[in-house]
């Protein structure tokens, strides 16, 4: 009788371990497209993303670079002072999107152009995303809007 209890206990522990490993693998598989890493334009130039990789890019919208196409397509360039990346976005831009302002876009690289699925802009006159500030500071072009 004691041997049967011990065997059953081992079976339950093994089953629990297998279930834990399986659930961890399924969670990791489900999250693979949900995690988007931030890259500055300089990082994109130095280490190009792999084909089809979804990531976030951020920097300043270069002055004079916004070109509105037919329909809802907008092209512009984003820079961090060290590199410039062309961006194409189809959709409605945020109200606060403008030249020489910080932005972050989520999308993929295609033939040297970042195809944005989503564009985020600053919240007010002085806000800039932390990742963009860090990238601009690395390039030495960050200017504090508060002084």
SS (H, E, C) 58-115: EEEECCCCCEECCCCEEEEEEECCCCEEEEEEECCCCCCCCCCCEEEEEEEEECCEEE
Q: What confidence score (pLDDT) does residue 15 get?
A: 95
Tell me the average pLDDT across 95-114. 88
Tell me the average pLDDT across 59-86. 88
- pLDDT tens digits, one per residue of 74-104: 999 999 888 999 999 998 888 888 888 888 9
- H/E stretch holding 38 reads strand 38-39
| Cβ atoms < 10 Å from Cβ of 60 | 23
Q: What confidence score (pLDDT) does residue 17 get?
A: 95
Q: What is the pTM of this model?
A: 0.67
pLDDT greater than 90 at residue 18: yes
The number of residues making up the chain comes to 147
- pLDDT tens digits, one per residue of 132-147: 778 777 777 776 666 5
CB within 8 A of 1, min separation 6: which ones? Answer: none
Which residue, among 3, 80, 10, has the nearest Cα to 46 in the 3D structure? 80
């Amino acid at each position: 009788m004691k041997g049967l209890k011990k065997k059953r206990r081992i079976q339950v522990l093994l089953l629990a371990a297998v279930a834990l490993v399986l659930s961890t693998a399924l969670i990791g598989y489900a999250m693979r497209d949900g995690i988007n890493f931030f890259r500055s334009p300089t990082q994109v130039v130095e280490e190009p993303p792999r084909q089809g990789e979804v990531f976030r890019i951020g920097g300043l919208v270069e002055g004079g670079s916004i070109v509105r196409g037919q329909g809802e397509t907008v092209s512009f360039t984003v820079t961090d002072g060290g590199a410039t990346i062309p961006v194409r976005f189809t959709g409605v831009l945020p109200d606060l999107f403008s030249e020489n302002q910080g932005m972050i876009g989520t999308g993929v690289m295609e033939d040297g152009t970042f195809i944005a699925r989503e564009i985020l802009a600053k919240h007010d006159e002085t806000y800039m995303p932390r990742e963009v500030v860090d990238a601009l500071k690395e390039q030495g072009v960050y200017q504090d809007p508060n002084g």
